[in-house]
Structures are given as C-alpha cells and as structure tokens.
Amino acid sequence: QLNCCPPPIVSTTPPVCAGHANGSATVIGQGTGPWVYVLRDVNGVVVATVPSTNGSAIFNGLAAGSYIVDVTDAAACQTSQNIVVVNPTPLVVSVTPSAPNVCSGGAATLTASGATTYAWSPATCLNSSQIASPIFNYNAQVEYVITITTSLGCVLKDTQLVRVFKE
C-alpha cells in the first residue's frame, strides 16, 4: 500500500554550547488532528512522545545528533522524518604566547581570547586575574588555569605554564 501522508515540517535550534543538551526541534504535522509525535534516536530508542491537538510538537533538551520523528494523525496516517540537531561551533581558548619563557625578574603578557569574561588562577604574580591579558611578573615557574565564559554562558578551561629562567 502506498503511503501518501505528507511529511511533517521540521525546524531545529542547536544547543547553546557545544556538548550541551539544550537544543530543540519543532515538528508540525500534516493531515487531520489530533496527532501523536514520537521522537527516537538513531538506535530506535524513544526519546519522547508528545500528543498534540494543535498540530505541532516541541522537543526540548536535545543534544546535537540525528533523530527520527514519527507522526501519526487521527486518520492513522503515519510518516517519519529525519531530524538533525547540529552542534554549534566548539569554543576555543587561545592563549599567547603558547610557551612563555621569562628571565627571572622579567615580565610576560599572557593573552587569552574568545570570550567575554576571563579568570586566571592562581592570581599569583598577575597584575589582574580577571582580564584577557594579564602581565606576569615573578621569579618562579607558575601554571595558570584560564577559565573563559562567553556571553551565552559557555565555559572552557585551559592551562598555561610560564617558565622562569635564572639569568
């Protein structure tokens, strides 16, 4: 038997941050309501089931990946549609110089980029630990952890070792 059910209309919203499960998919069924929407992952495991009388379903809390939505209307017409929730561009912390070497008593500027807030830890020997480009001035080697946060709340950490050489 030929299936003449029109496919649903699908739109997706990616997660706010790479690796998070806060994306969504909106599915609008065709045909005669009410409808039942079943979202499955690529292994066929049911993620969510949404009954609807207005023709649409919203699936929230989705990680990036591939899904399949099955839509059944009141006339028992069933159709399936592939859904792909894309991952946003991964956040990258860039610290320069990549391997700073400082002579004892000297100074080096560490520069991080790619975010709206910065936190260097420990704050030891930095002119400020809450800016993108603090100045390091110390007589011993220190490994810093830089935590950056974007305007969307995405957080990433990286480390930076500053080597100090005796003159």
Nearest-angstrom CA–CA distance, 80 and 73: 12
Name the nearest CA neighbour of 152 among 115, 122, 110: 115
Q: What is the maximum span of the chain, computed from C-alpha positions, in angstroms?
A: 85
- Counting residues of the chain whose pLDDT is more than 70, the rounded percentage is 96
Q: What token pair was written down for 96?
A: 């320069």
**Whole-number Å distance between alpha carbons of 152 and 116:** 9
147 vs 106: CA distance, rounded Å:
25
H-assigned helices in the chain? none
HSE of 119, CA atoms in CB hemisphere, 13 A: 8
CB atoms within 10 A of CB 71: 26
* Chain center to CA of 151: 13
CA 5 to chain CA mean position, Å:
35
pTM of the predicted structure, to 2 decimals: 0.71
- pLDDT exceeds 80 at position 167: no
| Distance, CA of 21 to chain centre | 8
Interval 118-161: pLDDT, tens: 999 999 888 999 999 898 887 788 888 999 998 888 898 888 88
- Classify strands 142-149 and 155-165 as parallel, antiparallel or unpaired: antiparallel
Give per-residue pLDDT as tens, 105-121. Answer: 778 888 888 788 999 99
